[in-house]
């Protein structure tokens, strides 16, 4: 029974994942300066549209998917939790590959990361509480939104602040380490996910088949929701690509941290987040290859 299955993930592994995600966030932050944020306050529409797509449209679409498909409780809560996370760190790389506004993508990741301190626990509690089976898990788990906010803050926001500070004060250092650190951090992250999956391979094979189709549909909804929201808002194709990809690439690594830190590695939730981590990279790179064939002017 997937709702009672628990994946093997030690406290040491969780600490290591926290550290890896912090390094990944830091590697993105050293691309930013305070001036980037000031420019966005002068023309905030693309970022606001992206945040609405990320934290309002996607969770609402996810809840609609849950109501339509009626998955088991832990699977439903896994989908809701992934949708409540900010955009994934690889979204910036994929946006660049797609010929979209990479600067907007990085800024959206930064703003969404800060917003996640409040909005991620709020969305988990709100949407999870509306679906009866997942609401029961939330009641039994008694998660503390403040603890989730602290986890997000230490793992994502602190590295963001440190990265921006370093880039402001010592741009000579960030120029040297930027590209190697980004590739190294992503490589370590991918290797960690592969090793974690290998340790739980039997469980993953047992449950992933039934979840794969749901995750693929969920990811398609996320990409479609981002594209539609950006189109309705009248964004340029250049900005629309960034919003689309940012909405469709979720921080599943953060999702895994929350699942193992607050839900005890509950099987359905963990398999959803793990499969998301694999699939959104495949779909994102595939979409980027298609979009890159037709350049979008800035």
Work out the pLDDT band at 104, boundaries 50, 70, 90.
confident
241, 296 Cβ separation under 8 angstroms: yes
For residue 144, pLDDT beyond 70: no
What CATH code is carried by the domain that includes residue 109? 1.20.1530.20
CA distances from 149 to 85, 88, 91, 183, 275 (A): 12, 17, 22, 28, 24
The string of DSSP letters for 177-188 reads HHHHHHHHHHHH
pLDDT of residue 207: 65
Would you place residue 196 in the very low, low, confident or very high pLDDT band (cuts 50, 70, 90)? low
Q: Could you give the number of structural domains in the chain?
A: 1
User: What percentage of the chain has pLDDT greater than the value 70?
Assistant: 84
Q: With bands split at pLDDT 50, 70 and 90, how would you rate the model's confidence at 199?
A: low
Is residue 3, in this structure, part of any structural domain at all? no
Residues 79/71, Cβ–Cβ less than 8 Å: yes
Residue 1 included in any domain: no
For residue 29, being part of any structural domain is answered with yes
50 or 174: which leads in pLDDT? 50
Question: Cα–chain-centroid distance for residue 133?
Answer: 24
In a domain, 234, yes or no: yes
244 or 160, higher pLDDT: 244
Domain assignment of residue 198, yes or no? yes
3-state SS class at 54 = helix
User: Does residue 20 carry a pLDDT above 80?
Assistant: no
For tokens 């986890």, the residue is 151
Banded model confidence at residue 200, pLDDT cuts 50, 70, 90 = low
Residues of the domain holding 42: 11-291
> How high is the pLDDT of residue 66?
95
Class of residue 140 by CB neighbours under 10 A (exposed 0-12, middle 13-18, buried 19+): exposed
Assigned domain for 19 exists:
yes
Over residues 35-52, the pLDDT tens digits come to 767 766 777 899 999 999
In this predicted model, what pLDDT tens digit does every residue of 114-130 receive, in sequence order?
888 889 889 998 999 89
Q: Is 191 part of any domain? A: yes
3-state secondary structure of 266: strand
Give me the pLDDT at residue 170, please. Answer: 87
Residue 247: closest CA among 272, 222, 276? 222
Q: Are 191 and 293 in contact (CB under 8 A)?
A: no
Sign of CA dihedral 285, 192, 54, 73: positive
The whole-number pLDDT of residue 242 equals 92
Residue 160 lies in a domain: yes
């Amino acid at each position: 029974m997937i709702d009672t299955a628990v994946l093997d993930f030690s406290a040491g592994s969780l600490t290591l994942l926290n550290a890896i995600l912090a390094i990944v966030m830091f590697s993105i932050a050293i691309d930013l300066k305070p001036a980037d944020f000031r420019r966005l306050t002068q023309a905030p529409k693309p970022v606001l549209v992206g945040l609405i797509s990320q934290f309002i449209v996607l969770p609402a679409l996810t809840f609609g998917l849950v109501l339509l498909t009626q998955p088991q409780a832990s699977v439903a809560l896994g989908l809701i939790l992934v949708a409540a996370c900010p955009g994934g760190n690889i979204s910036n790389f994929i946006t660049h590959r797609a010929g979209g506004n990479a600067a907007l993508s990085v800024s959206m990741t930064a703003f969404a990361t800060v917003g996640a301190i409040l909005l991620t626990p709020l969305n988990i509690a709100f949407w999870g509480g509306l679906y009866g089976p997942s609401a029961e898990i939330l009641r039994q788990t008694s998660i503390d939104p403040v603890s989730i906010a602290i986890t997000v803050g230490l793992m994502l926001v602190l590295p963001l602040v440190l990265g921006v500070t370093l880039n402001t004060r010592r741009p000579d250092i960030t120029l040297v380490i930027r590209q190697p650190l980004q590739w190294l951090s992503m490589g370590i992250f991918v290797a960690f996910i592969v090793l974690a999956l290998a340790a739980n391979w039997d469980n993953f094979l047992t449950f992933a088949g039934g979840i794969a189709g749901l995750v693929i549909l969920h990811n398609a909804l996320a990409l479609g929701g981002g594209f539609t929201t950006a189109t309705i808002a009248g964004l340029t194709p250049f900005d629309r690509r960034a919003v689309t990809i940012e909405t469709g690439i979720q921080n599943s690594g953060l999702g895994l941290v929350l699942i193992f830190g607050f839900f005890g590695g509950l099987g359905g939730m963990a398999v959803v987040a793990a499969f998301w981590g694999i699939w959104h990279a495949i779909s994102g790179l595939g979409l980027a290859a298609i979009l890159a064939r037709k350049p979008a002017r800035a």
